[in-house]
Amino acid sequence: MEYVTDLIWKPGITVKELVDNFKTIGYQSVELSKASNVIVKMKKEGAKIFLTFTSNMVTSGLRGFFAQIIKLGIADIIVTTVGGLEEDIMKAKGEKFAIGKFESDDVELHEQGINRVGNLLIKNESYMNFEDRILPILAKLYEKQKRWAVSEMLREIGLMLDDNNSILCQAAKNKIPIFCPAITDGAFGFHLYLFQQKHPDFIVDVVKDFGNILFTTSHDDKKGVIALGGSISKHHAILCTLLNGGAEYAVYMTTAHKTSGSMSGATTNEAKSWGKVKDDSDIATVNGDVTIMFPLAMMKAMEELHADGLLKNENS
């Protein structure tokens, strides 16, 4: 049995040392330390790792961190929502999002043509610029072929971007598939619809992509899931693990609570009842803000993986 240990600061303390200390502080610190260890284990054991996140995380400065994780070979399959892909393209094309306040006057912001995501601000102008940029991209896709599975389309778009901090760009470079089952749930979907009105033979095939994600793993593969937030991105990944025998490793981070009965709040233990996570799996569920929790857990894991030579392309 371990006992509570007082946290003591020292000059030059590293992320690894800090998170190692978390395991004996108590409460969510214990779960965060455990989550970091599970991430290390899933990578060391050669599991195929699903990384899922919602679009609000790409709105934040985690966007470049996700791209770096892809570059370093930690994630094998990405599942996300369409807003994050739109904003990834926006940022790759130079758009900048401002930091505001949670207590802003939202009526005033609306009158100024500014949209609020928590305490982050996005101008309507950014979405107008997105329209100007996505239409030529869709035209190039249509010229190349008429029917696209979503992940294949996203890879092609990633190859058109030139930004090392772009999720789409790094995924395309490193041949990591990105799945977005709700591709129409945003501005991108609206432009896909408008483009299809002029080109009725242009098809984005979501059902084919469900087959694609199923075949990213098999019953014989070890599977790991890092689910940040909830939503369809989390469920799409763990549904895939369910159909392929369940995941051996799972880390969930969320601000939602298990008492809601929601997918976002469902814990790694609850996933065992469905067979999405195996009975004897290594798991951790961390309740808290992903913008704080995930960098701490992942950076500690990355320090260990780096020391063991398990990160790729570190100098490229």
What rounded mean pLDDT belongs to the chain? 96
Please, which pLDDT band fits residue 314 given cuts at 50, 70 and 90? low
Residue 159's pLDDT is what?
Answer: 98
pLDDT of residue 240 exceeding 80? yes
Please, which pLDDT band fits residue 27 given cuts at 50, 70 and 90? very high
Q: What is the mean pLDDT of residues 165-186?
A: 97
Q: What is the mean pLDDT of residues 58-70?
A: 98
Asked if the structure places residue 136 within a domain, the reply is: no
Lowest mean pLDDT among 145-159, 236-250, 253-267: 253-267
Please, which pLDDT band fits residue 173 given cuts at 50, 70 and 90? very high
Residue 153's pLDDT is what?
Answer: 98
134 and 93 Cβ atoms separated by less than 8 Å: no
- More reliable by pLDDT, 63 or 315: 63
Cα angle: 264, vertex 57, 172; to 5 degrees: 110
**CATH code where residue 261 lies:** 3.40.910.10
Give φ, ψ of 116 to 5 degrees: -110, 130
Residue 29's pLDDT is what?
Answer: 97
End-to-end CA distance of the chain: 44
pLDDT of residue 264 exceeding 90? no
Asked if the structure places residue 1 within a domain, the reply is: no
276: annotated active-site residue: yes
Residue 315's pLDDT is what?
Answer: 53
Predicted TM-score of the model (pTM): 0.96
Asked if the structure places residue 130 within a domain, the reply is: no
Asked if the structure places residue 267 within a domain, the reply is: yes
Q: What is the mean pLDDT of residues 253-272?
A: 90
Residue 251's pLDDT is what?
Answer: 98
Number of domains in the chain: 1
Asked if the structure places residue 200 within a domain, the reply is: yes
- Placement of tokens 């994600």 in the chain: 213
pLDDT digits (tens, 9 = 90+) for 87-96: 999 999 999 9
Rg (CA), the chain: 20
d(CA 93, CA 131): 12
Determine the structural domain holding residue 79 and report its residue range. Answer: 15-94+147-307
Q: What is the mean pLDDT of residues 209-231?
A: 96
According to the 3-state scheme, what is the secondary structure of the chain?
A: CCCCCCCCCCCCCCHHHHHHHHCCCCCHHHHHHHHHHHHHHHHHCCCEEEEEECHHHHHCCHHHHHHHHHHCCCCCEEEECHHHHHHHHHHHCCCCCEECCCCCCHHHHHHCCEEEECCEEEEHHHHHHHHHHHHHHHHHHHHHCCEEEHHHHHHHHHHCCCCCCCHHHHHHHCCCCEECCCCCCCHHHHHHHHHHHHCCCCEEEHHHHHHHHHCCCCCCCCEEEEEECCHHHHHHHHHHHHHCCCEEEEEEEECCCHHHCCCCCCCHHHHHHHCCEEEEEEEEEEECCHHHHHHHHHHHHHHHHHHCCCCCCCCC
Of 43, 276, 278, 300, catalytic: 276
Residue 266's pLDDT is what?
Answer: 87
Asked if the structure places residue 189 within a domain, the reply is: yes
Lowest mean pLDDT among 113-117, 262-266, 286-290: 262-266
Asked if the structure places residue 109 within a domain, the reply is: no
Asked if the structure places residue 4 within a domain, the reply is: no
